[in-house]
Amino acid sequence: MIISTNKRLSKFKLLPIALSILPFTATANSNVVHDAEYYILEAQNGKVWEVEDKDLDAKLAELAEEYGTPPNIVHFMWDDQPMGAIGVPAIQQSRGYDTPNLNQMADEGMLFSRMYTEPSCTPTRAAALTGQHPIRNGMYRVGFPVEYHGISEESVTTANILSDAGYATGFFGKAHLGDIEESYMHNQGFDVAFAAIYNQVASIWNEQGESANATIGFKDSVLAPDPYHLDDTYMSDDIVLFYEGHKGQQAKEWCGVSLDCYNQFDQEAERRALEFIETNAAAKQPFYVAWWPQWVSFIPEQQKSSRQRGIVGDAYQNNLDPSAGALMDTLKKAGIEENTLVIAMADNGPMTHNPPAGLGMGEGLFRGGKGDFTEGGVRVTAQAWWPGMIEPGQTVGDIIHVTDLYTTFARLGNATENIPDDRVIDGIDQTSLLINGDTHGRRDYVHIYSGDKLGATVKKHYKMHWINTDPTAASGIGSTYYDLLNDPREQSPLLVNMVMHGNSFARMRERHEMMMQKYPNKEAGQGPAYTGMELLNPDTKEISEPLIFIE
């Protein structure tokens, strides 16, 4: 890769050069194949980054010397909270809940004002573990039982690359990345896994839940007889919600399908996650933990714990926040808090499409929520905590994307060389942002996918909606353009301004798609569900097989 330091270098000249050599050369520091936009930035900023990187390497080496290991990494991720939901008392007062532990973590660390995710659970989780927009590996659909689908064995996850670099790797919580054998977390690079296959819907997959949801109807068994009924397999009780497993071994179903099991799951995940941390800390073994609690039950508790008394406020105040406190306590007790990076964040924006609003779901500062490609869908609460390395009390304005965790964790774990070079990695190494602070991010853009369609692209604080079918939204030329600082709710498309910026956005998209042609998108894994697993319920076998495929 030829790095030009000439900021005035014509982008029209740069583009063909970059595209022709990208697949065959590495950047200065790695073999990673980035998306096209990154090379535009690197060509302009690479020399500065190189200098920064040397300083960062020295800092990390110093820390490694002190602790005898590279830093531990904890990725603590939960569901559905917008930017500002954590660490901002004015917003929490307005929503009626309080998270003192997470707020303390934010105060002692770095609060991100522009952490972008994918628009929903499964895509974000896949993005975090693969460093790729899920369009590239087929993981852009939200999984529900039974799906015969999941993250493929060709995936090279954070757990894979950190394992190969000598890390102990543990997964605890909601995976939501498929129900086929290859998708189990211990088959995706984790040494140990204790995982929920699907999502919070599990909490209503039982008779108590059904009573509240019968008009939708999850379970035929408790519904009134339907004389038009032909298919018993459309909905089935004989599913698997939880499993445990070790790398190279068969999985075991855990507990079963009941509200009791659901309610015990997060506590058990917490117990195992903290034990995993303690054990590895004691052994001076560097570790990577993905602890992704689900906590929000769709069956409201009778006794409320938050002023909001919605299931969201209650669950986060009463359950999530103490978990975050226990995490910090455990790290401090083990004496490794200054050698451990904690990223705490939500996986997408708030649920806003499920009335009644009385569930604590609702928009934050931005328009839209989970599932949407407006900022409300993808701009989440997120923070980094690493005492001694991250300067406390920062609220940073840099753009960061959930895929950046992949490349950043790789950098911190000396595992960048383990990143595969046969695919585009959307993630960018953001170590400099973490350690050097505000304005040291290396990304000024984000592509936002809505399923398998490109929904929008952000550059700086401008945003192009590629999809807009509102006949009054000035989208006659195919897209609408917004200024996020002046119109954070994306309500007033700017037509005149688009005249100036439209082609810059069009070029970004062309480059992005040209890279996709060079590195074609892959499919997710497909097959029978629940193979490679010891099942508690013998009837599960029936639903697990997509009969069409059976000989």
Instruction: Report the nearest approach of a second copy to the CB of residue 320 (Å).
Output: 18
Strand residue runs (E) in 306-411: 340-346, 379-380, 382-385, 394-396, 400-401
Q: Which is nearer to a second copy, 141 or 307 (by Cβ)?
A: 307
Q: Which is nearer to a second copy, 91 or 223 (by Cβ)?
A: 91
Instruction: Report the nearest approach of a second copy to the CB of residue 96 (Å).
Output: 4
Give the residue carrying structure tokens 């109807």: 217
Residues linked to residue 533 through DSSP beta bridges, in sequence order: 251
- Which of 298, 262, 73, 282 minimizes the C-alpha distance to 173? 262
From CA 462, how far away is CA 498, in angstroms rounded? 10
Give the CA distances from residue 309 to residues 305, 313, 333, 530, in Å, rounded to whole numbers and listed in that order.
Answer: 7, 6, 33, 37
Instruction: Report the nearest approach of a second copy to the CB of residue 463 (Å).
Output: 12
Instruction: Report the nearest approach of a second copy to the CB of residue 80 (Å).
Output: 14
Question: Residue 270 is encoded by which pair of tokens?
Answer: 């917490």
Instruction: Report the nearest approach of a second copy to the CB of residue 519 (Å).
Output: 33
Q: Which is nearer to a second copy, 310 or 528 (by Cβ)?
A: 310
Instruction: Report the nearest approach of a second copy to the CB of residue 499 (Å).
Output: 14
Give the residue carrying structure tokens 């076998």: 541
Q: Which is nearer to a second copy, 145 or 364 (by Cβ)?
A: 364
From CA 37, how far away is CA 40, in angstroms rounded? 5
Question: Residue 118 is encoded by which pair of tokens?
Answer: 């994918």
Give the CA distances from residue 270 to residues 171, 207, 539, in Å, rounded to whole numbers and listed in that order.
Answer: 11, 26, 30
Q: Which is nearer to a second copy, 150 or 376 (by Cβ)?
A: 376
The set of residues, in sequence order, having a beta carbon less than 8 Å from that of 423 and lying 6+ positions away, is 33, 132, 136, 519, 522
Q: Are 374 and 487 in contact (CB under 8 A)?
A: no
Q: Which is nearer to a second copy, 221 or 492 (by Cβ)?
A: 492
Q: Which is nearer to a second copy, 90 or 550 (by Cβ)?
A: 90
Q: Which is nearer to a second copy, 21 or 485 (by Cβ)?
A: 485
Residues linked to residue 242 through DSSP beta bridges, in sequence order: 196
Angle between the N-to-C axes of helices 11-21 and 36-67, in degrees from 0 to 180, rounded to the nearest 10 = 60
Q: Which is nearer to a second copy, 268 or 487 (by Cβ)?
A: 487
Q: Are 242 and 197 in contact (CB under 8 A)?
A: yes
Q: Which is nearer to a second copy, 60 or 351 (by Cβ)?
A: 351
Q: Are 277 and 289 in contact (CB under 8 A)?
A: yes
Q: Are 266 and 173 in contact (CB under 8 A)?
A: yes
- Which of 444, 424, 407, 432 minimizes the C-alpha distance to 512? 424
Q: Which is nearer to a second copy, 94 or 285 (by Cβ)?
A: 94
Cis peptide before 356 (omega within 30 of 0): yes
Q: Which is nearer to a second copy, 208 or 492 (by Cβ)?
A: 492
Residue 123, SS3?
A: helix
Instruction: Report the nearest approach of a second copy to the CB of residue 497 (Å).
Output: 7
Instruction: Report the nearest approach of a second copy to the CB of residue 95 (Å).
Output: 6
Q: Where does this chain bind a second copy (CB under 8 A)?
A: 83-84, 87-91, 93-96, 111, 113-114, 307-310, 313, 355-365, 395-397, 461, 483-489, 491-492, 494, 497
Instruction: Report the nearest approach of a second copy to the CB of residue 79 (Å).
Output: 17
Instruction: Report the nearest approach of a second copy to the CB of residue 86 (Å).
Output: 10
- Which of 49, 8, 9, 6 minimizes the C-alpha distance to 28? 49
Residue 99, SS3?
A: coil
The set of residues, in sequence order, having a beta carbon less than 8 Å from that of 181 and lying 6+ positions away, is 187, 251, 527, 530, 531, 532, 533
Instruction: Report the nearest approach of a second copy to the CB of residue 403 (Å).
Output: 21
- Which of 436, 353, 343, 323 minimizes the C-alpha distance to 383? 343
Residue 303, SS3?
A: coil
Environment class of residue 467 by beta-carbon count within 10 Å: exposed (0-12), middle (13-18) or buried (19+)?
Answer: middle
Instruction: Report the nearest approach of a second copy to the CB of residue 368 (Å).
Output: 12
Instruction: Report the nearest approach of a second copy to the CB of residue 375 (Å).
Output: 9
Q: Which is nearer to a second copy, 78 or 171 (by Cβ)?
A: 78
